Structure 1
């Protein structure tokens, strides 16, 4: 049912104020989890799902992000001379081919819906993915790949979803479920950041989407929603009212909210513990810290 998805939008225009002063000069998206920038995890996930065109919605001050994906001949030559083959291969995986990546400026911070709308001319009239690099998901099969496989059966629109505690629903877009089919749920409505007690479920939307081009038409007509921003959730809810299908997808994986300092630290520890070259040393350090903490009590 679902068409092939080959384009992905990466909204990276945010100022990253939660991470000041680091983000005064370093775009948040290239802050590192262990030794790879946040955005590299998102790119790798997109590639695994068959994405061929990468559309970045950026803002002033993000030139370091653009440079990151460029070739670095001086560095490559230095590694070649030093015989560091493994590092050269790692570097090669960060390069993007000419024409595979495009940058669009979002001149005003008007929300996620507006950021996606900014990419409308490059998306054209075909389904597309949206990946929020802040949501880093450790999974055996990358989450967007899981979604692309499920989308082949459902078509329409698909959003990644996970259960959250009821008291946290006001921080998310929340699904109003029509039919729960296990891995997928059909959706009859979506509410952005509902007040406690007003959430239709505790199934929250996470930063992965596969959307039909009709969403762009909806965004054309959107007025500002929650928080005075143009909300992507509202445009998806409008598609339901227009008779188009929306499915929530319960992904398999562990999600880390790297938009917050605590989430970023948790992800850093989890990804480091998953590395054979770092695990033992880090684990010993954590155990020592815990023992000292207990002794102090």
Structure 2
């Protein structure tokens, strides 16, 4: 299996569900505790050994690029004030020099179109795709678990991370059909985007982490539209599945959909409670608000 070196992050979305907060600030820069959502996702990719970070951006997203750059005025001030811990945190949050690339999705034509916009930067090699709305709490990270699982799968395999939802909620998600087991994974027999209630092939939904073969770009190049008049990644994966195997991996951990308010708030609570430096004080604050936690 060819090594996965590159990861794509589609960050061109408008964030309309978080207006007015996202009127001038990208939704990916909203913070879970003290780190932007996109930082959590990039950290997951770095832990998995990703070497090249590819961001598909849009207008008014320049602050994301700035976030992954050095800010000499800030560093100089911290150094002058002896803030060594803060300087270390900033240094640790940066990908290596020359390891980030940014390209534009000029029109909001769907996730499939955003992935296609990264084709020249990815080239002819398999790659990881991480949706920045989905923040994972797990150890090791979800992508690291997936790459470990990929090693036991056949050549030219595609792999999708999945989670379970309540069966009656399956119509809200992209759902996969479950085939025979393959080590820690299972063969994906079907992919349905938001199936009608009662028709879902399972209760396992696609949770925003993918490892895809580069042939997906040839399919996306047709710019065929699907639901909502957009170029749907799921449609392209279904076509790719006609010639290449797709597997699902039920990752160990929990995901938070930070693209909606409830998921975002839940992520802040969960990550705050997992932080030894703030968890005791945070628990006391929660107790004052809602009782014992």
Q: TM-score, normalised by structure 2?
A: 0.96
Report the counterpart of residue 197 of structure 1 in structure 2: 198
1:68/1:94 contact within 8 Å kept: no
Taking a change above 3 Å as real, the CA distance of residues 291 and 129 of structure 1, as seen in their structure-2 partners, is closer
Query: How far, CA to CA, are the matches of 2:291 and 2:235 in structure 1?
Result: 49
Report the counterpart of residue 161 of structure 1 in structure 2: 162
1:235 paired to 2:224: no
Q: Higher helix fraction: Structure 1 or Structure 2?
A: 1
Deviations 1:272-293 (A, max 9, x none): 111112111111121222249x
Report the counterpart of residue 90 of structure 2 in structure 1: 91
Alignment partner of 2:221: what SS?
helix
Query: How far, CA to CA, are the matches of 1:109 and 1:167 in structure 2?
Result: 30
Q: TM-score, normalised by structure 1?
A: 0.94
Report the counterpart of residue 105 of structure 1 in structure 2: 104
116-125 or 275-284, which deviates more: 275-284
Query: How far, CA to CA, are the matches of 1:169 and 1:113 in structure 2?
Result: 22
Query: How far, CA to CA, are the matches of 1:77 and 1:96 in structure 2?
Result: 20
2:165/2:205 contact within 8 Å kept: yes
Query: How far, CA to CA, are the matches of 1:182 and 1:22 in structure 2?
Result: 44
Query: How far, CA to CA, are the matches of 1:22 and 1:222 in structure 2?
Result: 32
Deviations 1:218-252 (A, max 9, x none): 1112411122211111111111112x100001000
Query: How far, CA to CA, are the matches of 1:195 and 1:168 in structure 2?
Result: 10
Query: How far, CA to CA, are the matches of 2:101 and 2:261 in structure 1?
Result: 29
1:158/1:246 contact within 8 Å kept: yes
Query: How far, CA to CA, are the matches of 2:198 and 2:177 in structure 1?
Result: 14
Report the counterpart of residue 257 of structure 1 in structure 2: 257
1:170/1:195 contact within 8 Å kept: yes
1:222/1:235 contact within 8 Å kept: no
Query: How far, CA to CA, are the matches of 1:268 and 1:182 in structure 2?
Result: 34
2:185/2:250 contact within 8 Å kept: yes
Deviations 1:89-134 (A, max 9, x none): 0011232333211111101111111100000011111000000111
Query: How far, CA to CA, are the matches of 2:166 and 2:183 in structure 1?
Result: 19
Alignment partner of 2:255: what SS?
strand
2:113/2:223 contact within 8 Å kept: no
Deviations 1:135-156 (A, max 9, x none): 1110010110000111111141
Report the counterpart of residue 217 of structure 1 in structure 2: 218
Deviations 1:3-44 (A, max 9, x none): 100000000000001111110111111110110000111111
135-144 or 91-100, which deviates more: 91-100
Map 1:40-189; keep pairs closer than 5 Å: 40-154=39-153, 155=155, 156-181=157-182, 183-189=184-190
Alignment partner of 2:241: what SS?
helix
Report the counterpart of residue 295 of structure 1 in structure 2: none
Report the counterpart of residue 226 of structure 1 in structure 2: 227
Alignment partner of 1:153: what SS?
coil
CA apart distance, 1:262: 0.7
Query: How far, CA to CA, are the matches of 2:265 and 2:13 in structure 1?
Result: 20
